[in-house]
Every structure is written in C-alpha cells, then in structure tokens.
C-alpha cells in the first residue's frame, strides 16, 4: 500500500510517499511561498504516484472540526498570506483519495507511537522547541482533539525570579513559547542559540522553563513517554539539565518513580527528523481505515 504524506511548515513543505509500515520510498521538499504556488506544486508531486490516501500534518492554528464548513483550513496564522487557506479541498479534488488532517506535532507523535520511541504507548506526547513550541498529544489510544486542538506550547509559565525578560509571544508574553523558544533565547541574550552553546547561564534558564512545562504535562496528561525535540534541543547538554529540573519540579509527588529512569522516559524521537512526515502518512492511513 502506498500512502502520501505532507509535513506542512511555514518555511518548507515536505512531501513523501511511504508504505503503511513507515518505509519512505520517495520525498521532495518544496519552499513555502504563496498558497496557490505551493499547493499547486504539492498536488503535482502526488499525481501519478498511485497513493491510496494522503495525510497532512500542518502548521497552525488549524480547524479540525469535521462539522465545520472551514474544516481543513488554516485559521489565523502569523504566516503572511496563509490565514484561512483550505489545505484539504485541492488535494481531495485532484487526487480523489481520503485525506487525513491534523497538526504537525500531532502527526509527529503519531509517527513515534506507531514506529518510534513511543511505540505501542496509549499515552504519549511530542514536544518540539524551535522557532515556536508545539506539543502533540496522544491520549487513550488516539490523538487529542477538543474545542480546538492542543496548544500546549502556550501554557502560562512562572518566570524564574532572576529573569526580567517579559517574553516574546505577541499573545501571552510569558507563556512557554514566549520564554523558551529559539526567538526568545535570541531576544533575551542578544545572540542566536547556536552561538551560546557553552553559556551555562543560558541553558540553565532554558532547562528551568522546559522542565516546568514538562512537569505540568506529566501532571495533566500522565504520558507514558515524552518525546523532546526541535532545533533548541540540538544542544545535547540540555537534556541532562532538563532531567534534573523535572525531578525537582515533580517534588516526589508522582508515586510512579519516573525520576529513576528519566533518561528513558524523556527521550529524543526514534524516527529523528522523520517523525512528522511518517506520522503524516499515518494520518492518511487512519482516514482510509475510517472510510473502508
């Protein structure tokens, strides 16, 4: 069986063809320009590929309410020109196959649950920390949806007492994304994260905010596995700092003693940078199963 997948991002679109077991046979990267140009190139890529279904893991916010007439649309995004863009209809019309649709981070956790480091978990989350912060949530054997979709990158965070930076989120200032994303590091310290690799002060503060958020996710979602990734996490020293601070924030309240094996509880993705695109193909597989 051949499945199509799209990992739709604000700077690039990754398109791929894979089988239902997560093996990728072909892929292409398309720069994100205007909606008409970008979607047209993606449609052209999948024509003639004989896929049975397509899945789209998309940057957001997006509308996931299947009862809404704007289901499948990006809503109000800061990406210029992409607000209210219909991401589903062009592919349904051109390819005539079932199309699954979800957030990019929900696609990533789905990939990790099926084939990666959260394999066979009923409850797991995927946190990506980069230009923004997103959290994919898989609960009780399915992707979490509700009023909208998880926006756990925007949970409100208590600033550390010595941190005077107000946060860079235009909506909430001191939310998780506002205090710990890549842009917040650069605006707080005056230099991008990759130029601050050996600055212990920078990464101690970063670990503090990441760990605070993770403790909140443990208390609320009770995940069996936490996948932690994104450009900021490419600093390998950060993981051990996060492990220590998570243990501190949990305060011995959680009876299940995750602190004794925290380095196998909070882990990198088993699929590396392929979690999102492989998960996107699985969104298509899920949609196909729902219809058949």
Helical spans, DSSP H, in the chain: 35-46, 89-95, 104-115, 176-180, 182-189, 200-221, 237-250, 262-265, 275-291
Q: Where are the domains of the chain?
A: 3-104, 117-268
What number is the average pLDDT over the span 2-21? 97
Q: Please give the Cα distance from 156 to 180 (Å, whole number).
A: 12
Closest to 144 (Cα-Cα) out of 220, 59, 89:
220
The pLDDT of residue 94: 98
The pLDDT of residue 88: 96
The pLDDT of residue 25: 98
Concatenate the DSSP letters of all residues of 92-117 into one string: HHHH-S-EEEEEHHHHHHHHHHHHST
The torsion angles phi and psi of 201, rounded to 5 degrees, stand at: -65, -40
| pLDDT-based confidence at residue 77 (cuts at 50, 70, 90) | confident
pLDDT, tens digit (0-9, with 9 covering 90-100), for 26-40: 999 999 999 999 999
Closest to 25 (Cα-Cα) out of 39, 43, 10, 4:
4
When the pLDDT of each residue in the chain is averaged and rounded to a whole number, the result is 95
What number is the average pLDDT over the span 80-105? 97
Cβ-in-10-Å burial (0-12, 13-18, 19+) of 282 comes to buried
Q: Please give the Cα distance from 82 to 58 (Å, whole number).
A: 12
The pLDDT of residue 251: 87
Q: Does the fold of domain 117-268 match that of domain 3-104?
A: yes
What number is the average pLDDT over the span 80-98? 96
What number is the average pLDDT over the span 7-18? 96
pLDDT, tens digit (0-9, with 9 covering 90-100), for 105-145: 999 999 999 999 999 899 999 999 999 999 999 999 999 99
The pLDDT of residue 90: 98
The pLDDT of residue 292: 59
pLDDT, tens digit (0-9, with 9 covering 90-100), for 193-240: 999 999 999 999 999 999 999 999 999 999 999 999 999 999 989 999
Per the CB < 8 A criterion, the answer to whether 285 and 55 are in contact is yes
| pLDDT-based confidence at residue 254 (cuts at 50, 70, 90) | confident
**Helices and strands counted in the chain (H then E):** 9, 10
Q: How many Cβ atoms sit within 10 Å of the Cβ of residue 274?
A: 22
The terminus-to-terminus CA distance of the chain in angstroms comes to: 14
Residue 255 has pLDDT above 80, yes or no: no
Q: The whole model's pTM is what?
A: 0.96
CATH of domain 3-104: 3.30.420.40
CATH superfamily of 117-268: ATPase, nucleotide binding domain (3.30.420.40)
What number is the average pLDDT over the span 152-176? 95
């Amino acid at each position: 069986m051949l499945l199509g997948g799209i990992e739709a991002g604000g700077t690039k679109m990754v398109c791929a063809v894979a089988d239902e077991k997560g093996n990728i046979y072909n892929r292409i990267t398309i720069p994100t320009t205007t909606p008409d140009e970008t979607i047209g190139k993606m449609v052209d890529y999948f024509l003639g590929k004989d896929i049975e279904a397509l899945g789209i893991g998309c940057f957001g916010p997006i509308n996931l309410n299947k009862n809404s007439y704007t289901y499948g649309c990006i809503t109000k995004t800061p990406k210029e020109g992409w607000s209210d863009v219909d991401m589903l209809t062009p592919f349904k019309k051109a390819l005539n196959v079932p199309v699954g649709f979800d957030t990019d981070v929900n696609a990533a956790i789905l990939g990790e649950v099926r084939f990666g480091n959260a394999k066979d978990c009923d409850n797991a989350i995927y946190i990506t920390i980069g230009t923004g912060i997103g959290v994919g949530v898989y609960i009780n054997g399915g992707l979490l949806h509700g009023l909208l979709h998880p926006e756990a990158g925007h949970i409100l965070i208590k600033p550390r007492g010595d941190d005077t930076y107000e946060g860079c989120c235009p909506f909430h200032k001191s939310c998780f994304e506002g205090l710990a994303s890549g842009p917040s590091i650069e605006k707080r310290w005056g230099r991008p994260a990759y130029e601050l690799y050996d600055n212990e002060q920078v990464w101690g503060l970063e670990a503090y905010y990441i760990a605070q958020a993770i403790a909140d996710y443990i208390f609320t979602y009770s995940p069996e596995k936490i996948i932690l990734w994104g450009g900021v996490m490419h600093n390998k020293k950060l993981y051990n700092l996060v492990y220590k601070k998570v243990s501190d924030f949990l305060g011995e309240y959680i009876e299940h003693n995750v602190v004794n094996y925290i380095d196998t509880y909070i882990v990198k993705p088993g699929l590396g940078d392929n979690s999102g695109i492989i998960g996107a193909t699985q969104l298509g597989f899920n949609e196909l199963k729902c219809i058949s």
